[in-house]
Amino acid sequence: MSAPGRKQATKGSGLTWVGRSIRRLEDPALITGQGRFTADSPAAHWVRFIRSPVAAGQLAKISPPEGAMVITAADLKGVKKITPMLHKFSYKPVGQPVLAEGVVRFVGEPVAAVVAASEEDAEDIADQVDVSIDETTPVTDAQAALEASAPQVHAEAPGNVILEGKVKTPDFDAIWNGAHRTIRIDARSRRQNATPLEARGGHAAYDPSTGRVTFTCTTQMPHLTRTAICDVLGFPESDLRVIAPDVGGGFGQKMSLCAEYIVLVWLARKLKSSVAWTEDRRENLIASFHSRDQYITLEGAFGKNARLLALKADIVCNIGAYSCFPTTCGVEPLMAMAEMPGPYDVQQYQCLARGVITNTCTMAPYRGVSRPVITFTLERLMDKAARAFAIDPVDIRRRNLIDKFPYKSAMGLEYDDGSYKETLEMAVKAADLPAFRKRQKEALAKGRHLGIGIATFSERTGYGSPAFAARGMEITPGWETVILTVDPSGFVEARIGSSPHGQGLRTTLAQIIADEIGVTPEMIKVVHGDTDRAPYGWGTFASRSLVISGGATLIAARKVRAKLIKIASHVLEAAAGDIVLADGLAKVAGTDRTIPIAKLAREAYTQTHRFKGEIEPGLTETGHYDPPGTFSNACHIAIVDVDVETGHVKLEKFLVAEDAGRIINPMIADGQVHGGIAQGIGNALLEEIIYDDSGGILTATLADYLAPTAHEIPPIELHHMETPSPNSITMAKGLGEGGCIGAPAAVINAINDALSPFGVEIDEMPATPQRIRAALRAKEKAA
């Protein structure tokens, strides 16, 4: 069963399903064109949203052509604003009207919805709607928005600061003042769009017989979508079914609530019909959600031996025009504040983290959230410090990485067992650093500029509810529920609250279940993405699903296993301790007495009289899991070739040593890391949403916003360690985001290494050819 091209798993091979690279159960439909995505269903009505063409202004008048159905805020009486809430950090709640109400705050904000019989008709009508807006002065940059003279984006948030986190450890000043030297970096991360290949879309269908609406949409969080829409529109959740069918990538962009989806459900109820909207790429790039637009100033105080003693951070996050639901706009600044110290043993920490409102598209989570930015900043700082101390970048990391676990961070986070130093050594050895340095020197003599960059990081995954509660979130996700049934046919169904969309969870959860109850993964169906079929859960985001839904699956499977053994012991008249479940059979150890598990399942429903009231009927068990959270870790190494004449960066090779605890399916795990790295490389070199001075977006097509292609991604070499997590009952840690967390730092460090002969430093992402050339030109001028 194991996929060719990948070495066999060494652990458990042949004995357990867990640990094996079995093919995905998801694939047969997807490779034959039978996948079902949101845009695949016909509808009676189609919607085109009219979006603000300006970044700031007063909405004066919307004039539709005669006979057209055009919905504006005035029609949405009784519809509440989207108002996510945080109860900490001086958070200023700001409401987002579902359609702009009097004021527009960013280019792309929906101001009206055209409803017509087809998409083409809706687009034609939209072209004829006259929207008149009295423009005001926008502010798009977070630093500019902090200036006293800046326009106010929301009256509720004077000074445009919507949230402010502050921490300082008690001994910070003493340690800081006594340090040998300090090193500083002013880092800039430009704005990105997660860019799933399937843009957003929704299809709301009213059922006149029940009064219910079935809303199919491309979301990572079906249950919370239901809760949020019913809150805003004010009707019972039992009247709304939300379905996340096949979802074409999410990367965080599809976990936040879209105002557009509320309009669709409202329209389906109003028209008592079906209503659909498929977002086009331009809308996705300008008006879905953005991320990572941050300024971070980070200073490190070091001892004489290059030991990092204290960190001081000033974090400014541009959160756009509104606060996203459910995480709130605290997601970037507060994650950056909590996790800035990263994988290093540093106990003194001071941080100011601010969320700043601007006239730009709303910020929401994107794979890794703030960690690609803080890892880039911290890893640049470590490289600068290594240079200042005249030691090797590997050496400074050796001196500072955490190596005793559990470790309590300066922010009070508990890091479970990891392999921070071991993965560093593993990666450095695989990269053959001495050989590279020799090659680099030879290349330099011929005028070629090679560079190597290292990034080490820890990645908090499987956030349980206490982690979110620490942020003061009114909506505190964290736990998951799994309902596991062996039905009378002997087949198995796991209904889960997570909502995978490419992560292969149907396969990995089946592997976990198969080992517990002794059937093959092919007999197990994992059901998700349907609020009528799946238990309430939080969906898939933040590298959580395998840890949390996997844990709940294991708990449910252990209960089913116990019940199967109990039934088998009745039927086979043997002690429960002698029953073994394997190969689809219950066996009495040491005898030839067996009974098929399918037959036991049938008896659980149809022969309950035989159990004399000692066993409850049926074969369904529920598992709940809410873990404390666990930290994965990795070391990434990038090797680049920088053309100093053009500023072009060619990646020669990318190398990873990673540790995500116990690996359930190595093939799927590798795929997650590959994909994250590709996005991280895009982050480092290519991807940037650019606003002009008037708040217009210059990157509204995929010819301008550059996602990497097969050309830009080098061969990726992966090495693994498996440190089982004591904080996860499957011993697995999350790894969905790690690739994109480490890659930007490794690439930018490599570019800086390549440019070191020029004394040029790049502390900005993406490091485009223009930025590299500008830095080189500035240096030439100064010389």
Partner 1 sequence: MREKAAITLTINGRDHPISVEARRTLADAIREDCGQTGTHIGCEHGICGACTVIVDDEPVRSCLMFAVQADGKKIRTVEGLADGEKLHPMQQAFMDHHGLQCGFCTPGFLMLAVGVLEREPDISDEDLVDVLSSNLCRCTGYQNIIKAVRAAAKEMRGK
Residues that bind partner 1 (CB under 8 A): 3-5, 23-24, 26-37, 39-40, 42, 120, 195-199, 246-249, 251, 278, 280-281, 501-504, 667-668, 670-671, 674-679, 701-703, 707, 709-713, 715-716, 739
- 594-596 and 449-461 strand pairing: unpaired
The C-alpha angle 612, 617, 620, rounded to 5 degrees, equals 145
Considering only CA atoms, which of 74, 81, 77, 75 is closest in space to residue 98? Answer: 81
Sign of the Cα torsion 686, 689, 690, 696 reads positive
- In the complex, the smallest distance separating the C-beta of residue 251 from partner 1, rounded to whole angstroms, is 7
Considering only CA atoms, which of 332, 328, 324, 272 is closest in space to residue 142? Answer: 332
- In the complex, the smallest distance separating the C-beta of residue 699 from partner 1, rounded to whole angstroms, is 12
Q: What are phi and psi of 751, to 5 degrees?
A: -60, -45
| Nearer Cβ to partner 1 (443/707) | 707
User: Which stretches of 223-360 are assigned E, i.e. beta strand?
Assistant: 240-243, 274-278, 294-302, 308-320, 348-357
| Nearer Cβ to partner 1 (36/272) | 36
Q: Which residue has the tokens 């499977």?
A: 557
Token pair in block for residue 342: 């990263």
Q: How far is CA 641 from CA 22, 442, 586, 748, 761, in A?
A: 37, 13, 60, 12, 16
- In the complex, the smallest distance separating the C-beta of residue 356 from partner 1, rounded to whole angstroms, is 28
Cα–Cα distance measured from residue 68 to residue 116, given in angstroms and rounded to the nearest whole number? 8
User: Which stretches of 151-239 are assigned E, i.e. beta strand?
Assistant: 161-168, 181-189, 201-207, 212-217
- In the complex, the smallest distance separating the C-beta of residue 676 from partner 1, rounded to whole angstroms, is 8
| Nearer Cβ to partner 1 (14/715) | 715
- In the complex, the smallest distance separating the C-beta of residue 247 from partner 1, rounded to whole angstroms, is 7
| Nearer Cβ to partner 1 (501/733) | 501
- In the complex, the smallest distance separating the C-beta of residue 230 from partner 1, rounded to whole angstroms, is 28
- In the complex, the smallest distance separating the C-beta of residue 428 from partner 1, rounded to whole angstroms, is 22
| Nearer Cβ to partner 1 (8/606) | 8
| Nearer Cβ to partner 1 (382/681) | 681
| Nearer Cβ to partner 1 (43/751) | 43
**By CB neighbour count within 10 A (0-12 exposed, 13-18 middle, 19+ buried), where does 49 fall?**
buried
| Nearer Cβ to partner 1 (416/530) | 530
Cα–Cα distance measured from residue 125 to residue 355, given in angstroms and rounded to the nearest whole number? 38
CB 125 within 8 A of CB 80: no
Considering only CA atoms, which of 42, 587, 559 is closest in space to residue 276? Answer: 42
- In the complex, the smallest distance separating the C-beta of residue 394 from partner 1, rounded to whole angstroms, is 25
| Nearer Cβ to partner 1 (472/675) | 675
CB 208 within 8 A of CB 263: no
- In the complex, the smallest distance separating the C-beta of residue 655 from partner 1, rounded to whole angstroms, is 13
Amino acid at 335: M
- Residues 6 or more apart whose CB falls under 8 angstroms from that of 224 comprise 257, 326, 475, 477, 538, 539
CB 428 within 8 A of CB 454: yes
- Residues 6 or more apart whose CB falls under 8 angstroms from that of 288 comprise 193, 199, 200, 253, 258, 279, 361
| Nearer Cβ to partner 1 (568/669) | 669
| Nearer Cβ to partner 1 (34/305) | 34
- In the complex, the smallest distance separating the C-beta of residue 117 from partner 1, rounded to whole angstroms, is 13
- In the complex, the smallest distance separating the C-beta of residue 193 from partner 1, rounded to whole angstroms, is 11
- In the complex, the smallest distance separating the C-beta of residue 569 from partner 1, rounded to whole angstroms, is 40
| Nearer Cβ to partner 1 (6/610) | 6
**DSSP three-state, residue 777:** helix
CB 635 within 8 A of CB 423: yes
Considering only CA atoms, which of 596, 628, 630, 603 is closest in space to residue 618? Answer: 603
